[in-house]
Amino acid sequence: MDFGYARVSSKGQNLDRQLVELREFGIAEENIFRDKESGKSFERRSYLTLRQKLREGDLLVVKSIDRLGRDYSMILEEWTFLTKTAKCDIVVLDMNLLDTRARGDNLMGKFIADLVLQILSFVAENERMCIRERQAEGIRIAKEKGVKFGRPRTELSCYVEEAFSDYRDGEISLDEALKETHLKRTTFYNYFHRFLRER
């Protein structure tokens, strides 16, 4: 049996383009499963229902590989389960090489599709590593140039510092200090401890 799967990341996004292509491929309406959820995991309601229905020899069709999931290592793991354990075929409409069906003109379909997916997984992981390295390098260079990261430091007014001094010296109570500084108790203590460290 042939099944289709369509996914977008949020309820506000539209599935129409994917549904049109799945129907044009020949997937029956009742066999198209839809999710409007993030692809960060495979714990999606419709996808899990579809997974339970798949049997050996069935075909799963998706418009693009990122509709199946977002993380290539997870996609690779799920792909292996579907093709090796569940013994299903997969067709990715946007990439002809990701077609595991063994046909007369494609005797090595499963092998080629697995190989292409491994390459895609490697490229995606390599790109993630490069992005992390570029970010780290950018942060290092920025720090060397004196760029400060994190929330900007709040400078205390002379009135607040005066209230802190009076509170520290026992000249005013906590309630009086809070009233003078217009700070909430937690914020007061945070700034007060910083004031003490810097004195």
Active site residue 64: no
Query: CA-to-CA distance for 56 and 97, rounded, in angstroms?
Result: 21
Q: Choose, from 9, 38, 46, 64, the residue flagged as catalytic.
A: 9
DSSP string, 79-139: HHIIIIIS--EEEETT-TT-B---BTTBTTHHHHHHHHHHHHHHHHHHHHHHHHHHHHHHH
Interaxial angle between packed helices 109-144 and 72-80, expressed in degrees from 0 to 180 and rounded to the nearest 10: 160
Q: Catalytic positions, please? A: 9
